[in-house]
Amino acid sequence: MHIKYFAINLEKAVERRQHMQLQAAKWGLDIHFFCAVTPDTMVGVQHKYYAKKAQQHFGRELAPTELACGLSHLELWRQLEQDDTADAFVIFEDDVIIETDLPRLLAGVRFADIKLLKLANLWQSKGYVIEKLTEGYELVQVLKTSEGAGAYLIAKDAVSSLIDYCQDFRKPIDTLVDDYTLFKTAAHSIFPHPVLQVHEAAGDTPLASSLDSDRASFVNYRMGKKNWLRYKINKRKWKTHKKVLELIFRVKCVLGRNKLQKYPGVLS
């Protein structure tokens, strides 16, 4: 299986790029840098975002930086679609810390049934061990991946369906990817997580994110009553659907004699 490695990086974020170059050198990774989409450049990028739909599914419209971040991932997925030499991409955001020799670790994974593999998670996941990997790592099947799109592997044969599912950006990209693993495909992760996503870095450091401050501007967000009611209905449907799938997942665990465990993320 031929895997290519990419890091999403703003052209002006030189220190972040240097941070990733140092890690690439440390682990012998050939990381290609993808020039991130920005609010100023996203006009020319194909998508189906509609603010009203985001309000009805996420409770607010997306910040321009959230949409630009999602479009960066979307453009890389489209690139994978057209790549005749790669079977999968590993995609990093440029604020992560790589903890191990990823090519060596991934060489031990049987990818036949794996479409999306999370390498970093912010929040706790529930799942069970599929197989033991090298150096104490385990391949885990989880009910759904947890938030954060800092590091993941996407297989080429799954990328078209992922694009179709996410390109309307009714939610931020990391939330949509998690929903995709819940509703559309089996979710897999590696534990302990081989990549750590830096969260809430100090504002004066090169790893600080502008997304948090942009999201904070929506604290007192208000929308029309019709969209608010539709959001509440959609949220209730999502929770009900998740509960049903969680019950099915638990039953499969019991029938397969698998031990259901909790796998913590950076924030849990």
Each residue's pLDDT tens digit, 186-215? 889 999 999 988 764 444 455 666 566 666
Query: What does each C-alpha distance from 116 to 14, 133, 189, 212 come to in angstroms?
Result: 29, 17, 8, 26
**DSSP code at position 155:** E
Is residue 124 in some structural domain?
yes
Residue of 72, 41, 64, 78 lying closest to 149 (CA atoms): 72
The pLDDT value given to residue 202: 44
Which one is predicted more confidently, 9 or 206?
9
Is residue 226 in some structural domain?
yes
CATH of residue 150's domain is 3.90.550
Is residue 213 in some structural domain?
yes
Q: pTM score > 0.75 for this model? A: yes
Is residue 225 in some structural domain?
yes
Q: How confident is the prediction for the chain on average, in pLDDT?
A: 89
The pLDDT value given to residue 34: 97
Number of domains the chain contains: 1
Is residue 202 in some structural domain?
yes
Residues 6+ apart with CB under 8 A from 56: 170, 227, 230, 231, 234
Query: What does each C-alpha distance from 232 to 56, 108, 237 come to in angstroms?
Result: 8, 44, 9
> Domain containing 111: what range?
3-263
CA–CA distance, 64 with 203 (Å, rounded to integer) = 20
Is residue 268 in some structural domain?
no
